[in-house]
């Protein structure tokens, strides 16, 4: 089953807790603190690979979590860092921020990596807090706890050439005769229900061709299947527009050409700038007189004379088309990766603290710079709480609270900690 859009949850590993330990051995009965730092949590990394061509595997697994860092140990041993969570996705996958719909990363090349979330920092062991004043700190810092985030994965096919046209005009058949692809072929609409890719070789060179599911009138507005797959032509450098000149499905070539181009324009103005090679397929199904009549009318309406005639059944025009495609591709530069929003998906709040006074008279202090400090607080440990108070004063929090009107007996809230201020 083909799947080209899915929302998943990702989480980096938590940082390991710092250790509380004191040196003890035969030579040292009462040594100083030697608790090591906790290990860093694992990252969440996306990896583009040509081994995959669909997001189908994400249908069954929607949550991906990196390994937590290991707690620190005695003898100043830092805990082991958590293993990264490597998520393989098909080349051409883009990551989208579900909060605003903007592209976070474009994994447009095989082997390209993107670190979506970084692992939490490990907490400091008690050895870190040793000072000339505090010789034996009996507390450590917890590891940084990471958040569960959501991200949308969307596959945009990587191909040089896109085959477009109404259903049943012969795109799948053409792909099968010009490349190594083996698409499903049958004589009914929407045989192709997902993009098929094939590598075409000609004159010692090669290019990738994508058979895009058939468009219909109204596709850009959600009708049929085509609207669902229009995104797969966004990256192509060249379009091959197949039109059934036999008009076997009751349509006519004049309307067919207009409808498809109208749908491309409705979906994206940029697609209309992509060069098209017009190819009339199934020319073996009508006689020469009728063929020329229809071609003449097409030329009169659209002033287009640069087109090809094709019969995939008899191979008429196949080699000519392959050479013409290669000739055009040599003149067209490869498309750059999609523009990525200037936004850190895993941005930490490092702003200075802010103070809010609530209606009940309490004060709340918020700000990213307090995160590390809070992680080191052990309320049941007098040393830890004393260190916490000292750091608040050193950071200017206490003075700022006083300026905001804090008095003895007022409650101060910082994250999950609340205390009553006393001079």
Residues 167 and 230 in one domain: yes
The answer to whether residues 396 and 360 belong to one domain is yes
Domain shared by 58 and 91, yes or no: yes
Predicted confidence at residue 194, as pLDDT, reads 63
**Is 90 exceeded by the pLDDT of residue 196?**
no
In SS3 terms, 167-218 reads as CCCCHHHHHHHHCCCCCCCCCCCCCCCCCEEEEEEECCEEEEEEECCCCCCC
Q: How many CB atoms lie within 10 A of CB 189?
A: 15
Per-residue exposure over 351-384, b if at least 16 CB sit within 10 Å of its own CB, e if not: eebebeeeeeeebebebeebeebebbbbeebeeb
377 lies in a domain? yes
250 or 134, greater pLDDT? 250
Contact assessment for residue 210 and residue 162, using Cβ atoms and an 8 Å cutoff: yes
Residue 62 lies in a domain: yes
Instruction: Please tell me whether residues 138 and 168 are part of one structural domain.
Output: no
54 pLDDT band (50/70/90 cuts)?
Answer: confident
The answer on 248 and 136 residing in a single domain is no
Banded pLDDT at 72 (limits 50, 70, 90): very high
CA dist 68 and 119 (Å) reads 8
Q: Do 29 and 92 reside in the same domain of the chain?
A: yes
Are 120 and 177 members of one domain? no
Q: Please give the pLDDT value at position 191.
A: 44
- Tell whether 342 is covered by a domain: no
- Write the CB contacts of 168 (distance below 8 Å, at least 6 apart in sequence): 187, 188, 189, 191, 214, 244, 249
Res. 277: pLDDT tops 90: yes
Q: How far is CA 230 from CA 221, 268, 399, in A?
A: 11, 9, 59
Instruction: Read off the pLDDT band of 229 (50, 70, 90).
Output: low
Residue 76 lies in a domain: yes
- End of a domain among 329, 362, 381? 329
247 plus 272 within the same structural domain: yes
More reliable by pLDDT, 2 or 329: 329
**Per-residue confidence at 107, pLDDT binned at 50, 70, 90?**
very high
Rounded to an integer, what distance in angstroms lies between the CA atom of residue 200 and that of residue 162?
A: 12
Residue 231 has pLDDT above 80, yes or no: no
Provide the percentage of residues in the chain whose pLDDT is more than 90: 42
Q: Evaluate if residue 165 carries a pLDDT over 80.
A: yes
Same domain, yes or no: 234 and 274: yes
Domain boundary, last residue among 313, 329, 345: 329
| Structural domain contains residue 373 | yes
Q: Does the pLDDT value for residue 339 go beyond 80? A: no
CA atoms within 13 A on the CB side of 245: 27
Full domain range(s) for residue 390: 354-420
Residue 348 belongs to some domain of the structure: no
For residue range 408-418, list pLDDT tens digits in order: 889 988 877 88
> The domain spanning residue 203 has which CATH number?
3.40.50.300
Task: Compare 166 and 423 and report the one with higher pLDDT.
Answer: 166
Q: Is the pTM of this model over 0.75?
A: no
Mean local confidence (pLDDT), 368-382: 71
Q: CA of 408: how far to CAs of 339, 378, 389, 397, 421, in Å?
A: 54, 23, 15, 15, 5
CA gap 175, 195 in Å, rounded: 11
244 and 197 together in one domain: yes
* Domain co-membership, 150 together with 185: no
Q: What is the CATH number of the domain that holds 397?
A: 3.30.300.350
CATH of the domain at 91: 2.70.210.12
Q: How many separate domains does the chain show? A: 3
> Which CA distances in Å does 143 have to 75, 76, 78, 228, 377?
19, 16, 12, 44, 12
Q: Does 46 reside within a domain?
A: yes
Are 194 and 316 contained in the same domain? yes
Confidence band of 110 (pLDDT split at 50, 70, 90): very high
Q: Which residues pair with 277 in a beta bridge?
A: 240
Domain end (from 156, 186, 219): 156
**pLDDT band, very low/low/confident/very high, at 264 (cuts 50, 70, 90):** confident
Q: In what order do the strands lie in the sheet with 63-65?
A: 63-65, 5-11, 149-155, 93-96, 103-107
Half-sphere exposure (Cβ direction) of 45: Cα atoms closer than 13 Å? 15
Does a structural domain hold residue 346? no
pLDDT at 257: 95
């Amino acid at each position: 089953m083909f799947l080209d859009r899915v929302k998943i949850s990702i989480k980096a590993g938590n940082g390991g807790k710092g250790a509380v330990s004191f040196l003890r051995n035969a030579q040292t009965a009462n040594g100083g603190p030697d608790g090591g730092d906790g290990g860093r949590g694992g990252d969440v990394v996306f990896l583009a690979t040509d081994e995959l061509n669909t997001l189908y595997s994400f249908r069954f697994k929607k949550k991906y979590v990196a390994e937590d860092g290991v707690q620190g140990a005695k003898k100043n041993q830092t805990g082991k860092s958590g293993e990264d969570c490597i998520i393989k996705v098909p080349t051409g996958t883009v990551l989208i921020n579900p909060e605003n719909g903007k592209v976070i990363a474009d994994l447009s090349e095989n082997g390209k990596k993107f670190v979506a979330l970084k692992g939490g920092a490990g907490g400091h062991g008690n050895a870190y807090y040793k000072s000339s004043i505090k010789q034996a700190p009996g507390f450590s810092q917890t590891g940084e706890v990471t958040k569960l985030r959501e991200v949308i994965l969307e596959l945009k096919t990587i191909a040089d050439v896109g085959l477009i046209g109404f259903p049943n005009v012969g795109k799948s058949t053409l792909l099968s005769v010009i490349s190594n692809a083996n698409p499903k072929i049958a004589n009914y609409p929407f045989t192709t229900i997902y993009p098929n890719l094939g590598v075409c070789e000609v004159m010692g060179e090669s290019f990738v061709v994508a058979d895009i599911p058939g468009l219909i009138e109204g596709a850009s507005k959600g009708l049929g299947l085509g609207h669902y797959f229009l995104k797969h032509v966004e990256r192509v450098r060249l379009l091959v527009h197949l039109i059934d000149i036999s008009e076997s499905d009751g349509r006519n070539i004049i309307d067919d050409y207009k409808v498809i181009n109208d749908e491309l324009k409705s979906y994206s103005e940029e697609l209309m700038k992509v060069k098209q090679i017009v190819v009339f397929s199934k020319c073996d199904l009508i006689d020469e007189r009728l063929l020329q009549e229809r071609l003449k009318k097409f030329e009169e309406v659209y002033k287009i004379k640069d087109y090809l005639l094709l019969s995939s059944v008899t191979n008429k025009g196949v080699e000519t088309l392959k050479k013409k495609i290669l000739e055009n591709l040599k003149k067209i530069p490869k498309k750059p990766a999609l523009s990525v929003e200037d936004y850190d998906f895993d941005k930490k709040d490092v702003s200075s603290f802010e103070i809010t006074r609530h209606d009940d008279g309490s004060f709340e202090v918020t700000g990213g710079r307090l995160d590390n400090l809070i992680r080191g607080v052990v309320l049941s440990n007098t040393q830890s709480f004393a260190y916490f108070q000292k750091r608040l004063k050193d950071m200017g929090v206490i003075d700022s609270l006083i300026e905001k009107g804090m008095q003895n007996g007022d409650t101060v809230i910082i994250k999950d900690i609340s205390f009553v201020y006393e001079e």
